[in-house]
Structure 1
Amino acid sequence: MNLRLSTVILPVRPWHGGGSDQWVRAEALGFHSAYTYDHLSWRTFRDGPWFGAVPTLTAAAGVTERLRLGTLVTSPNFRHPVTLAKELISLDDISAGRITLGIGAGGNGFDATVLAQEAWTPRERADRFAEFVALLDRLLTEGAVSQAGDFYAAEEARNIPGCVQQPRLPFAVAATGPRGLKLAARYGQAWVTTGDPKLFETGTPEQSRDALRGQLARFEHACAEIGREAETVEKILLTGFTPERNTLLESVDAFVDFAGRHRELGFTELVVHAPIPDSDFAADEAVFEAIATEALAQLG
């Protein structure tokens, strides 16, 4: 598989205050996909503007024509498979089949307690995630679904006519643990990682690549266990969370070096954050645009 370059646009700008322009620019720069985070608020942006993922992607579908669009990632923290499936089918229709669902188990951030619930333990998150993904897969591929699970239920849930993309829109499953990797192997058209969080502060680039190499090997093993060829699944690295995060977008050369090393590991898609001034994702706009238009050509 060839290396693809995509971007993630955090939903912090009003649509008529620069938000729309970012999605149009992403398509003009030639990115393969443009994703957004599916949170209700997030980290240092909690006390500032933050807009909903599904309405944002709907609007983005209306101002673009070729760019793939998606979440990176949606989680069960405040979503239910039945209502999410209806929104995704509608999005896939509006975009003429350009939607990818990035999906993960979620964490202990603001979304975990915003509905006045106790944050789930890691095991509870894994249990819910497994049921969530399996039911969502059914909802997006069957016309009517009834199911009573431990956490999620559906009664005659109708999703006609289904997705534009058949048999359903692709799942990009974020996972690093054994249960999540098995879900990615079974249901994912792509697998997503951000690297090893334990190396975020003090790790070296070499340690990070070793950790990613191990994650890739475990994913390949999960595929082999069910008789699936791992080569048929896209491998996505969401950048910005590895030790190179502060130098990654400093120059085209720095990014090309990073991209080449991670392509050699086996990644097929790299996702870079669109710059946001005065934040952890601040970067030179001119360098960002040059990376989008020049980096893959330099890799050959």
Structure 2
Amino acid sequence: MRLSTVILPVRRWHEGGRDEWLRAERLGFHTAYTYDHLSWRSFRDGPWFGAIPTLTAAAAATERLRLGTLVTSPNFRHPVTLAKELISLDDISGGRITLGIGAGGMGFDATALGQEAWTPRERADRFAEFVPLLDRLLSEPAVTSDGTFYSAVEARNIPGCVQRPRLPFAVAATGPRGMKLAARHGQAWVTTGDPKLFESGTPAQSREAIRGQIDKLDKACADIGRDSAELDKVLLTGFTPDRGGPLQSLDAFVDFAGRHFALGITEIAVHSPIPDSDFSADQAVFERIAAEAPAQLA
């Protein structure tokens, strides 16, 4: 099982931001992700920096650590401009970028550009067009496409990604249309569990829901003749009924991770601690988990 982390972009680069990314590499995390939002929930009234510039700076500061978004969405992105930024970022990092991508939600990003928030169906419609077009833009030197929501006219992306045929997609999905996109375009699949269970569900119910999600992914892959074992299965923690429990101790995390590994999860992403927030945790315990848990889960 791979162990990764999520570093929220809430610190100025020269006031602790850079140090967090360097620490993630020193601790041996497989990937360090960040959210691609304009702001987010309880952090809305505080500092919040852009994902692509932050990842660019992290790429220049680190050497081995994989980097990525968890996740980017169509809420305020267009495939043509996003592709150019990603190809540049993949080049700067030497081919260490993973794009986590999802349909987006109802939060601040959904209305920040002045539009009405899209319904779940409208988000799914846009996502179904966004992902295939972005796939082409990152894989082909020139793309023309006339879509319902997104178009490209001779969009040039030369020389393309360092990673071939393009950088990997980690597709966040739970519904049938999203699962089909993950099966066809993903190199990984991402879940946060079942959001309906977050407030009142139990850890056992959450694991059963994730098992069901993986079964749906298996079917979506089988329907197009793909082996779902080709996809990494990523659990972004902090949104299951366990909440911060897995970061209370090394033993608690190993138990949590082991139970999800048995379901088929292959990568777990834990949030780097942020004091006085939903992601508050003991830094020493966090670092011990990074150092010791992977060997116990091998």
CA-to-aligned-CA distance 1:164-203 (integer Å, 9 cap, x gap): 0000000000000000000000000000000000110111
SS of equivalent residue, structure 2 residue 275:
coil
> 1:278 aligned to 276, 279, 290, which one?
276
SS of equivalent residue, structure 2 residue 88:
helix
> 1:121 aligned to 115, 119, 133, which one?
119
For residues 1-150 of structure 1, the aligned pairs below 5 Å read 3-150=1-148
Partners of 1:272 and 1:246 in 2: how far apart? 10
For residues 76-225 of structure 1, the aligned pairs below 5 Å read 76-225=74-223
> 1:229 aligned to 224, 227, 230, which one?
227
Please state how far the C-alpha of 1:248 moved relative to its aligned partner: 1.1
Q: CA RMSD in A?
A: 0.5
Residues paired across the two proteins, number: 298
Please state how far the C-alpha of 1:298 moved relative to its aligned partner: 1.8
Contact residue 258 and residue 297 of structure 2 kept, 8 A: yes
Please state how far the C-alpha of 1:275 moved relative to its aligned partner: 0.1
Partners of 1:57 and 1:296 in 2: how far apart? 25
SS of equivalent residue, structure 1 residue 245:
coil
Partners of 1:42 and 1:196 in 2: how far apart? 20
Contact residue 244 and residue 281 of structure 2 kept, 8 A: no
Partners of 1:299 and 1:178 in 2: how far apart? 31
SS of equivalent residue, structure 2 residue 54:
helix
Query: Unpaired segments of 5 or more residues in structure 1?
Result: none
Q: Which amino acid aligns with 2:226?
A: R
Partners of 2:150 and 2:84 in 1: how far apart? 15
For residues 237-276 of structure 1, the aligned pairs below 5 Å read 237-276=235-274
Q: Which amino acid aligns with 2:61?
A: V
Partners of 1:115 and 1:46 in 2: how far apart? 16
Please state how far the C-alpha of 1:161 moved relative to its aligned partner: 0.1
Please state how far the C-alpha of 1:299 moved relative to its aligned partner: 2.5
Partners of 1:299 and 1:172 in 2: how far apart? 22
Query: Which residue of the partner structure matches residue 288 of structure 1?
Result: 286
CA-to-aligned-CA distance 1:110-139 (integer Å, 9 cap, x gap): 000000001111111001001000100000
Partners of 1:41 and 1:299 in 2: how far apart? 34
Contact residue 244 and residue 279 of structure 2 kept, 8 A: no
Identity %: 79
Partners of 1:89 and 1:275 in 2: how far apart? 30
Please state how far the C-alpha of 1:247 moved relative to its aligned partner: 1.0
Q: Which amino acid aligns with 1:266?
A: G
Which TM-score applies when normalising by structure 2?
0.99
SS of equivalent residue, structure 1 residue 34:
strand
SS of equivalent residue, structure 2 residue 247:
coil
Q: State the 4+ residue runs in structure 1 displaced beyond 4 angstroms.
A: none
Please state how far the C-alpha of 1:296 moved relative to its aligned partner: 1.5
